[in-house]
Structures are given as structure tokens and as C-alpha cells.
Structure 1
Amino acid sequence: MRSVGNARWWVARSDGIVAGSNFLPVAGGHWLTGLHVAVDQRNKGLGRRLLSTAQATLGGPVWLFCEPPLRGFYLSAGFEDATTLPAELTQRLQRYRASKNLLALVRPTAA
């Protein structure tokens, strides 16, 4: 994952870092630019817990772009298809789709 100065990193540790996520502030929420879980730690709910903890602290909705095979995972983590995006993400998605098949998802603010 690449990071910029205003990015917010979240990690999970267990004898070292086993998962990490990166969030960039965008209009009214955050853009999840990466979520990685160590292979031997997958399918234990770690990624979902990391996303929930981060969003509860950061506040606001979380948007992401993902490849179609990952849609099921993100839907199970509380995301849904994004019908609208902040302007800055709309422009990025248009550029990225020139070379990749990506979906836009959003995890609304928890009630």
C-alpha cells in the first residue's frame, strides 16, 4: 500500500502486524485505498473488525474501489454498491476504469 501525508493507517497485531488498512480523507468520509490481511490470518473476521474499528473512530462513510471477485467479501463487511461518489473519487474511478474493471462500493455511516 502506498501512503500520503494525510492518510490514516490502521493495523492489527499478533506477534507482528497481521493486517493493515489505509484510509484517505475525502468529502464527508474516507476512501479505503488498501486492506491486507496475512494469508494465515484470513477467514477469521480480522479484516471486517479492522474496518469496523477504523470507521467507528474516523467517522463518516467509507468508499472503496475493488475488482469484481472481491465484491462478496466487502458486501459481507457492510459495504453496498455506491450509487454516488464524492467528485474527487468519481474522477479517479473514471481514470482507473480506463485500464481496470473496478466496482465502487460504500459502507455507510453506522447508525
Structure 2
Amino acid sequence: MPELPIDLLAEPLWPLLNKFYRRHDSSMKALKGGRLWVVRDTEIVAGLCLSPVVGGQWLTGMFVDPAYRGQGLATRLIQQAVAGVDGTVWLLCHPDLEGLYQRMGFSQDTVLPQSLSERLVRYRRNKPMIAMGLQ
């Protein structure tokens, strides 16, 4: 199978990423002010959003179509999206995903900016969450 292209999604096309999330019953949403990255086959099969925060970027909305998992798409997508990013890239995720992100170089040994620290506290009220960072 040929390597699928990874692209920065132009702002007028942002609704396509939200449509992708909804198609998979995901509550994820593209954040305004972020940079949206996608992997496409004939349509979007993976996506994420990078939003600026103090000291770096916040990675949200990382999702790969279940039919495309196990092919390294998440790793390729994150590597391309964070290439050249200044500062730390943080994410908040379920503890079950820790190993996946560790293999990409993320670590729980990170100091969150206040805005993400406050979000993590709120998110933990409803579900288990951890914070990870990539220098």
C-alpha cells in the first residue's frame, strides 16, 4: 500500500475534520485558532489539531479511522505536525494510550502551562486522564 499523504488542512475545509470525527462517533472537535493536520486516502482517515498555548502547542483530536490503525499513521501524522514547532507539545489522554505516545517520545515528566493544568483537573472529574509532553 502506498504511503498516504499528510497535509495541513486549509481553513475553509475544517468542517471536513469535524465530519470525520462525527462519522466515527467521536466527541473530538477541531479547535478554532489551531492548525489541523490530516491523513487522506480517498477521504480523511486520520486527523489532529495543534493549538498554541504558553510555551508550546496543545495536541488535541488525534484520531485514526479504526480500519487504518496499526499502520503507523498516528506516528507519521504527529511527527509531521510537530516538525519545526517551538516549545513543548502537550497532550491530555487516557492512561491506556500512554505506551503509544511514549513510543513517539512523549513523557509524563512535563510541566503543563496553567491553562492545560486547569483543563486536566476538569477532565479528571469525569474520566481518567494523564498529561504528556514532547520537548
TM-score (norm 2): 0.74
The code of the aligned residue for 1:23 comes to: L
Quote the RMSD (CA, aligned, Å). 1.3
Among candidates 41, 61, 69, match of residue 14 of structure 1: 41
- The answer for unaligned runs of 5 or more in structure 1 is none
**Sequence identity percentage:** 44
Contact 2:92-2:129 within 8 A present in 1 as well: yes
Report 1 or 2 for greater relative contact order, CA contacts < 8 Å, sequence distance ≥ 6: 1
Among candidates 51, 63, 69, match of residue 36 of structure 1: 63
Contact 2:30-2:61 within 8 A present in 1 as well: no
In structure 2, the residue corresponding to 1:81 is in which secondary structure? coil
Distance 1:4 1:65 in 2: 15
- The answer for unaligned runs of 5 or more in structure 2 is 1-27
Give 1:57 shift: 4.1
Distance 1:3 1:16 in 2: 17
Among candidates 98, 102, 106, match of residue 75 of structure 1: 102
Distance 2:78 2:109 in 1: 17
For residues 75-105 of structure 1, give each alpha carbon's deviation from its aligned partner in whole angstroms, at most 9, with x where no partner exists: 1111111431111111111111122111110
Count of residue pairs the alignment pairs up: 108
Distance 1:73 1:4 in 2: 23
For residues 39-93 of structure 1, give each alpha carbon's deviation from its aligned partner in whole angstroms, at most 9, with x where no partner exists: 1211111110100100014433210111111111111111111431111111111
Runs of 4+ in 1 over 2 A off after TM superposition: 57-60
Distance 1:70 1:102 in 2: 10
What does 1:1-111 align with in structure 2 at a 5 Å threshold? 1-108=28-135
Distance 1:42 1:57 in 2: 26
- Considering fraction of residues, name the structure with more strand: 1
Contact 1:55-1:61 within 8 A present in 2 as well: no
- Bigger radius of gyration: 2
In structure 2, the residue corresponding to 1:80 is in which secondary structure? coil
Distance 2:81 2:60 in 1: 13
Distance 1:52 1:59 in 2: 14
Distance 1:83 1:107 in 2: 8
